[in-house]
Amino acid sequence: MSEPFRFQLQAKDGAARLGAITMPRGTIRTPAFMPVGTAATVKTLTMDQVRGTGADIILGNTYHLMLRPGAERVARLGGLHEFARWPHPILTDSGGFQVMSLATLRKLDEKGVTFRSHIDGAKYEMSPERSIEIQGLLDSDIQMQLDECVALPAAYAEVERAMELSLRWAERCRIAFGDQPGRAMFGIVQGGAEPALRERSALVLKAMDLKGYAVGGLAVGEPQQVMLDMLEVTCPLLPAEKPRYLMGVGTPDDILKSVARGIDMFDCVMPTRAGRHGLAFTRRGRVNLRNARHADDHRPLDEESDCPAARDYSRAYLHHLIRAQESLGAMLLSWNNIAYYQNLMQGIRDAIGSGTFVSHAEKISASWAQGDI
């Protein structure tokens, strides 16, 4: 069989790249958006709905699943794909970021992270090795190294300490992961908003010859331009023939601008979290369905969409559901938003393939700026 993990670069348009990652569980068309399935579910949606939007891969979280239902239990039940009924590729984050943002009484040192569960207060220790072990128990296709992400702004010395620790943990994860044909382990470039630290992190990770590279430590409170500047420093240093994943990003505008700087993969809770709060992404911009102006509007969100949530329900009905806090409202808007993101990615892939990415991005951005939508 052909090499079990293969990234093919199919076209370039400036720094934007069109590609495909082929794995045993399926092909991931890039640039790709990964819906976040934190607790083995893309909140409010069935996996058939998620697949129907065009998603090739979803994200799972080591931190949440190790606490509940437990990594060993998921393994006993056949792994995450069987458990959640998603037979396509899954990328799992390694847990460090979630520990620092969710757990209580957490300590981080050379060994790893020690913390108490935000669910029941139970105490856990997670080393780089244990993070890789958990991701293996979940039967994850793309596993992330354990790393330390520093919130910005941060002092140079603090960013440097966390970046160097993450490099040592990358090596430990590389050894723990070993050689698993058909699966991949990605390194995570850290270094905050410091070009020199980004450069060191990227070059040391590149020398490890990993299957793919994430750019971490961004979308943590810095202005968009700082994030984009760090991509311009980091992406050219990463191997062109390996996928690049910008963690936790982002809005549609973030995605357009990051694709233009060489990013291939994205994940963000934005479409599902915003959907649960009544916010709809559409081709003509965002619509806040909580707003009373929608109460008598019989129009759907987008009559031309291939997603039933966008095409078949009136804004008046969606407004009613959101105001009444009916769970169908959260589901329909999450469905609409994930479909919007997948359609955005398909348009980006088509544009790179035809060498029209710059004008496509300008057209998409201009369409958001329309008036009353």
Site residues (CB under 6 A) for ligand 2MQ? 93-94, 96-97, 144, 147, 149, 188, 216-220, 247-248, 267
Minimum distance of ligand 2MQ from residue 77's CB (angstroms): 24
Using an 8 Å Cβ cutoff, are 89 and 141 in contact? yes
Which residue among the candidates 141, 254, 264, 267 is catalytic per the annotation? 267
Under DSSP, the state recorded for 300 is: B
Residue (238 or 351) nearer to ligand 2MQ, CB: 238
Residue number with CB closer to ligand 2MQ (219 or 309):
219
Find the shortest distance in angstroms from Cβ 219 to ligand 2MQ. Answer: 3
Yes or no: say if 203 and 238 are a contact pair by the CB < 8 Å rule: no
Backbone angles phi, psi at 9, to 5 degrees: -85, 120
Q: Which is nearer to ligand 2MQ, 54 or 187 (CB)?
A: 187
Q: Among residues 80 and 219, whose Cβ is nearest to ligand 2MQ? A: 219
Least distance in angstroms from the C-beta of 229 to ligand 2MQ: 16
Alpha carbon of 77 to those of 69, 81, 141: distances in Å?
Answer: 11, 10, 17
DSSP secondary structure of 33-66? EEEB-TTSS-TT--HHHHHHTT---EEEEHHHHH
> Please, which residue, 219 or 322, has the CB nearer to ligand 2MQ?
219
Q: Which of 18, 9, 8 is nearest to 356 (CA)?
A: 18
**Which residue among 93, 147, 254, 264 is the active-site one?**
93
In 3D space, the residue among 299, 266, 366 whose CA is nearest the CA of residue 57 turns out to be 266
One-letter amino acid at 16 equals A
Length of the chain in terms of residues written: 373
Q: Minimal distance in Å, beta carbon 301 to ligand 2MQ?
A: 25
93 is catalytic: yes
By beta-carbon distance, which residue lies closest to ligand 2MQ? 248
Q: Would you list the DSSP string of 336-362?
A: HHHHHHHHHHHHHHHHHHTT-HHHHHH
Is the Cβ of residue 212 or residue 300 nearer to ligand 2MQ in the bound state? 212
Q: How far is the CB of 228 from ligand 2MQ (least distance, A)?
A: 14
Q: CA dist 68 to 57, 104, 119, 121, 158, Å?
A: 22, 16, 9, 12, 32
Max Cα–Cα distance, the chain, nearest Å: 60
> Closest approach of Cβ 204 to ligand 2MQ, in Å?
16
**In whole angstroms, how far apart are CA 165 and each of 70, 169, 191, 214?**
27, 6, 11, 16
Annotation says 253 is catalytic: no
Is the distance from CB of 247 to CB of 218 less than 8 angstroms? yes
Active site residues: 93, 267
